[in-house]
Amino acid sequence: MLWHSCRLSSNSWMGQISCFWCINGWYACSRAGNKISRGCEMSFLEGVSNTMINDLLISNPTQADVKAAYQIFETAISDAFEKEGLGFLREEIHREITHKKYLLDASLDKPDSDIYFLIAKQDETVVGTISFGPCGEDIKKCTENQLQSVGELGSLYILPGYQGQGVGSALINAMVAHLSKQGIDQFCLDSGYKRAQKRWLRKFGVPYKVVKNYWGPDSDHMIWLCKVIDFIKE
């Protein structure tokens, strides 16, 4: 069990928090695809040992981190599509990368932005990202706007070389604590990929909504609605 300290600061969602994280339990990476976006993916990487990363720092990104975060989007999203067997969807990959860059820029450029990012650093190298912001269009559409007032957890991307080492777990723990401190009691997330859905089902349980054949024959979309308190790490 490894303990890492971090300090979070915010734009529109919160003030500052001093906190400690216990990086423990499950290990995650991420992926999103497109209609607009197929949502987040967490996956346990086969063949990767569950070795913890020492001295992992979680913080808000600054302008100095933008280039490194862009590289994470470009590398991790392409890698995730390849692992899903969808590497040939070059236009969708490009669209997803561009969209994530836009979200990050918006979170930094607007003082009152409703998009909140965290990054993970190892030895000054940005190795992972996560975001929280307004509910996405796929979730709104699939739920007939039932969750439009619930914020969405997304943009969970880890550099391939750092996957399976607790980075995703630490980012989610940090984001959940951030939400708790802000008095936010729920979050939602979604996935349109079978590979991802299996992992989300294990972590978050029965989906709030399953839309059959949303992406095509035998290709469903799943949405989860989660209580923050259920995922707070003591």
Tens of pLDDT, residues 163-207: 889 898 899 899 999 999 999 999 999 988 777 788 789 888 999
Q: What are phi and psi of 128, to 5 degrees?
A: -160, 160
Amino acid identity of 49? S
- What is the pLDDT of the chain when averaged over all its residues? 79
Task: Return the pLDDT at 40.
Answer: 59
Distance CA 226, CA 150 (A): 10
Distance CA 144, CA 73 (A): 30
User: Which DSSP string do the residues of 5-35 spell out, in sequence order?
Assistant: EEEE--SSS---EEEEEEE-S---------S
Which has more pLDDT, 24 or 206?
206
Sorted by where each starts, the structural domains of the chain and their CATH numbers stand as 2-231 (3.40.630.30)
What does the pLDDT average to over 30-51? 40
Task: Return the pLDDT at 33.
Answer: 36
Residue 70: strand, helix, or coil: helix
User: Whole-model pTM?
Assistant: 0.77
Task: Return the pLDDT at 10.
Answer: 36
Band (57; pLDDT cuts 50, 70, 90): very high
Task: Return the pLDDT at 22.
Answer: 33
152 pLDDT exceeds 90? yes
Task: Return the pLDDT at 75.
Answer: 96
28 pLDDT exceeds 90? no
Tens of pLDDT, residues 216-232: 888 899 999 999 999 98
